[in-house]
Structures are given as structure tokens and as C-alpha cells.
């Protein structure tokens, strides 16, 4: 089952840089404004490696962003900006945060280690969404140039008794590093090098199956890269009382953060759909056609939070559609929508988003799977108010507000070998990049 390994991580040297100035959000969550801000924060900010700005480089003619990233990474190690741990370690990693839209404060606890890369067919690691070729090509170019992993793949495992959290956190003490990010989230890191504790952790994870929460593109990139160097990756290595397990070769593993899917600190937020630039969109015609599949209830003009409250109260498949002519609560007619979704695997038929994509986007708006995949007419936003405002400002045709996917639904879909529609889950908060780095050589 799931093989994990300690590793000699590269970490920022606190005597030369402030951690607050150099860590970043994951590469795919960095907006252009954030990218510029990171550049200005420090000459050693990790964004210069994971998401470089070519126009800001004073680089030799013809040098790519990936080559520059490799050059910076090498220079930072040589200069002592980055320092390598003397001993193989794992790292307890906790995030304390306020749940968006509420006053609830939670703490999500996990650990950073290397994880063996498994083909999906081995049924140890499970995905829950499709990937696209362009992001994988970009991440592969960076991996080949730098031969390093700078962010962690977010993995879920099941441990109802929370024995692993107790092992790592009961005597955690003062953290080795902590930083508050731009969203006010407190990130704390504890270095664990005790061989006995690491062996207990390796044993505890040995019977686990894993679900990729975030990082599908990076996982598949790392897996494909590993095949070039280790076509046959053996099972978890043997270890003695004096030696800790290691991957069969450096490329056979990637850096991962492992989180207990049974923890109450795990939060999944909804991702709302904003449809724009349709050749001809008539709100009245949309409402008429929607009545074939849904009961349609007009909602009074109100703050977006009121629409979300309406949605949260629903037990069956439902979502709120907001047009320039008004907002509407769409409740699925179970018999009609079930027939329309009959071709999909049973776990997917239970998802609100399957209904939204297969019926509303495809049948009512003419956005087939390819158009959705290429995002020609659709945007995905976490902020419901922003999604609604785009319609009210005339920058979008219609917005669909949705309820979040539950952990139970995600588990059922993933372990059944199915995949959800794009952008079905938004795990909050994200894992910071730059807390630890795994160099392959």
C-alpha cells in the first residue's frame, strides 16, 4: 500500500531570509498581481523558480524560464540561502485558519514526507479529477530543468482513530518554523528526525490508500518523469533498526503532504461556475427550457449570502442561477435528471455538479465537454459575490452558485475509479510552497 519515506529536505536559511518573504501559494493559485508582489518581496522568493516572469530576467540570450529557475536554485544552494537537513526527516505541518464566510476557526494537521509514485491501476493512489496537457508540460519542463519538487502534492488518507496525528502532535512542542500568509492563515512546521517515530509512521501508513486532493497535474508529471528513470519501481524498501526506508531511486517518489480525511479540520469549499461570451443568451428562454429538468423558483433581489443560505437549505440536487433578469433556485426533478445522467457511473449521478455540467451546461447552454475543458466560455470562482457581480456588471451571461462536494462524496467517487467534473473541489487552505524542497540530486 502507501509507502512513505523521510528525506533530507532543503529549507530556507532563517539567518539570511525571512520565511514570510520567500514562501508562496501553490503555482496554480498565484495571480499575476500576486506574482508581481512576490517578486518585490525578496530576490529569493520561490516564485522566481516556480513561476518566473521572463520579462524581468536579466538573462543570457535564449535562456528559458526553466533554465533560469535551475540556475537560481543552484545559486541559492551554493550561497547558503537554502540549506539541507543533515538527517532524513518528516515534518508535522499544521494550518490554523478561519473558515471563509464564518467565524469558525479550525486547524488542519498533517505531515510532509516523500510518497512513492504509483500508477492509478495499482489502486493505491486515486484521483478525483481529469488533468490537462498544458499544465503537465509546464511542470515537466520545470522538473527536468531543476530536478526538484518545490511544492507538496496534497494527499488524503483515512485514520478514524487519528492515531497518526497523535503520534506526531501529542509532544510537538515549539514549532521549528511558522509563517502567516496573505490570507491570515498560520502555518507551523515541526521537524521530526527520530528514527523510532519515523518507523512508526511508515508502518502506520503502510495499509493506507490515498486520494489526491490537490496536485493532480504535478502527481502525473512526477509519475511520468519517474518512468523515464525507473521503469519498474519495486515495492516499499526493506529497512533495519539502523536504516530508514528510502525510495528505489530519487525519481520514484515526490514530496507530499498527507492529511487525514476523517479530521474535522478538513474543509472543502464550493467552486462556482461563471458562464460568459455566449453567442446568444436569453435569460427568459433559459428559464423556460430549464423547467424541463428543474422546478424554477424566482428569488428576490438580495445579497449573495442570502442566495447561498437558500442553497444550503436544500436537501436534493439544487443550485442558484443568477442572470441579469434575476436569480432563480433550480431544484432537480429526480426522475427526469436521473434519466439524463443514466450513462454516468452511479457515484457521479449523486453529485450536484454532474447534473449542472451534463444538463445545464451541455444541454441548455450548448457547452459540451470539450468547451468546458478548454474553458472557452466558463470561469471558476471561489468567491460567490464576485461571481454574481460579474453578471450584474454585464461581464458574464449567467452564474451558477453551488453547494460544496462533501468528503463522503469525494471518497465514494475516487475509490470507485471515477472522476468528477473539473474544479469540483476547493480544499481550504492551500499548502504553502517553499516550506520544504526535495532535490533529486
Grid coordinates representing 329?
A: 433556485
Q: Supply the CATH number for residue 315's domain.
A: 3.30.1760
Angle between helices 384-392 and 304-312 in degrees, nearest 10: 120
For residue 412, being part of any structural domain is answered with no
Q: Looking at the structure, do residues 309 and 179 belong to the same domain, yes or no?
A: no
Question: Are both 38 and 124 inside the same structural domain?
Answer: yes
The total of structural domains in the chain comes to: 2
Does residue 375 carry a pLDDT above 90? no
Of 210, 193, 203, nearest to 11 by C-alpha is: 193
Residues 53 and 167 in one domain: yes
Per-residue pLDDT averaged across 74-87, rounded?
98
Q: Give the pLDDT confidence score for residue 235 in this predicted structure.
A: 47
Are both 173 and 95 inside the same structural domain? yes
Average pLDDT over residues 419-432: 93
Q: Are residues 144 and 228 in the same domain?
A: yes
Query: Does residue 408 lie in a domain region?
Result: no
Q: Report, as an integer, the average pLDDT of 192-209.
A: 97
Could you tell me if 113 and 197 lie in one domain?
Answer: yes
Q: Is the pLDDT of residue 134 over 90?
A: no
Do both 305 and 158 map to the same domain? no
Average pLDDT over residues 33-48: 96
Give yes or no: residues 205 and 326 share one domain: no
The phi, psi pair for 377, rounded to 5°, reads -130, 15
Q: What is the pTM of this model?
A: 0.92
Same domain, 152 and 257: yes
Q: Is residue 93 part of a domain?
A: yes
Range of the domain at 261: 4-267+429-439
pLDDT (0 to 100) of residue 233: 45
* 60-79 average pLDDT score: 90
What average pLDDT does the structure give for the chain?
A: 93
Please return the burial class of 124, using the count of CB atoms within 10 Å of its CB with bins 0-12, 13-18 and 19+. Answer: middle
Q: Rounded to an integer, what distance in angstroms lies between the CA atom of residue 272 and that of residue 384?
A: 7
- Tens of pLDDT along 246-285? 999 999 999 999 999 999 999 999 999 999 999 999 999 9
252 and 164 co-located in one domain: yes
Give the model's pLDDT for residue 187. 98
* Within-domain flag for 183: yes
Q: Identify whether residues 365 and 261 lie together within a single domain.
A: no
211 domain residue, yes or no:
yes
pLDDT per residue as tens digits for the range 278-325: 999 999 999 999 999 999 999 998 889 999 998 999 989 999 999 999
Whether residue 72 is contained in a domain is answered as yes
Say if residue 81 is in the same domain as residue 206: yes
Q: Report the alpha-carbon distance of residue 15 to residue 177 in Å, rounded.
A: 12
In a domain? residue 424: no
The answer to whether the Cα torsion of 327, 331, 333, 339 is positive or negative is: positive
In a domain, 295, yes or no: yes
Amino acid at each position: 500500500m502507501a509507502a512513505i519515506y523521510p528525506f533530507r529536505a532543503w529549507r530556507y536559511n532563517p539567518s539570511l531570509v525571512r520565511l514570510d518573504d520567500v514562501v508562496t501559494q501553490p503555482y496554480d493559485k498565484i495571480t499575476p498581481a500576486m506574482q508581481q508582489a512576490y517578486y518585490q518581496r525578496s530576490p529569493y522568493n520561490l516564485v522566481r523558480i516556480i513561476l518566473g516572469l521572463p520579462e524581468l530576467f536579466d538573462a543570457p540570450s535564449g535562456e528559458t524560464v526553466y533554465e533560469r529557475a535551475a540556475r537560481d536554485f543552484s545559486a541559492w544552494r551554493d550561497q547558503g540561502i537554502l540549506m539541507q537537513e543533515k538527517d532524513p526527516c518528516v515534518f508535522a505541518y499544521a494550518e490554523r485558519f478561519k473558515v471563509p464566510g464564518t467565524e469558525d476557526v479550525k486547524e488542519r494537521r498533517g505531515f510532509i514526507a516523500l510518497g512513492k509514485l504509483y500508477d492509478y491501476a495499482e489502486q493505491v493512489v486515486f484521483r478525483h479529477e481529469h488533468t490537462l496537457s498544458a499544465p503537465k508540460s509546464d511542470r515537466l519542463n520545470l522538473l527536468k530543468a531543476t530536478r526538484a519538487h518545490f511544492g507538496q502534492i496534497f494527499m488524503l488518507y483515512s485514520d478514524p482513530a487519528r492515531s497518526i496525528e497523535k503520534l506526531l502532535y501529542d509532544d510537538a512542542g515549539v514549532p521549528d518554523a511558522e509563517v502567516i500568509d496573505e490570507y491570515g492563515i498560520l502555518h507551523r512546521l515541526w521537524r521530526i528526525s527520530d528514527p523510532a517515530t519515523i518507523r512508526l509512521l511508515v508502518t502506520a501508513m503502510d495499509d493506507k490508500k490515498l486520494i489526491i486532493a490537490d496536485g493532480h497535474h504535478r502527481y502525473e508529471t512526477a509519475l511520468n518523469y519517474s518512468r523515464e528513470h525507473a521503469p519498474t519501481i519495486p515495492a516499499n524498501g526493506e529497512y533495519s533498526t539502523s536504516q530508514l526506508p528510502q525510495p528505489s531511486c530519487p525519481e520514484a517518489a515526490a514530496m507530499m503532504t498527507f492529511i487525514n480525511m476523517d479530521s474535522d479540520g478538513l474543509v472543502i469549499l464550493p467552486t462556482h461556475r461563471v458562464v460568459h461570451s455566449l453567442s446568444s443568451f436569453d435569460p427568459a428562454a433559459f428559464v423556460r427550457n430549464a423547467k424541463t429538468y428543474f422546478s424554477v423558483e424566482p428569488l428576490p433581489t438580495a445579497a449573495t449570502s442570502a442566495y447561498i443560505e437558500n442553497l444550503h437549505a436544500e436537501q436534493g440536487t439544487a443550485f442558484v442561477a443568477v442572470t441579469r433578469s434575476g436569480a432563480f433556485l433550480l431544484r432537480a426533478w429526480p426522475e427526469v435528471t436521473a434519466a439524463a445522467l443514466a450513462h454516468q457511473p452511479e457515484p457521479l449521478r449523486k453529485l450536484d455538479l454532474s447534473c449542472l455540467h451534463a444538463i445545464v451546461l451541455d444541454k441548455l447552454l450548448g457547452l459540451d465537454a470539450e468547451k468546458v475543458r478548454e474553458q472557452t466560455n466558463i470561469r471558476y470562482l471561489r468567491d460567490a459575490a464576485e461571481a454574481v457581480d460579474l453578471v450584474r456588471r454585464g461581464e458574464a451571461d449567467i452564474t451558477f452558485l453551488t453547494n460544496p462536494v462533501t468528503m463522503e462524496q469525494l471518497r465514494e467517487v475516487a475509490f470507485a475509479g471515477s472522476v468528477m467534473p473539473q474544479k469540483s473541489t476547493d480544499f481550504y487552505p492551500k499548502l504553502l510552497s517553499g516550506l520544504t524542497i526535495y532535490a533529486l540530486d
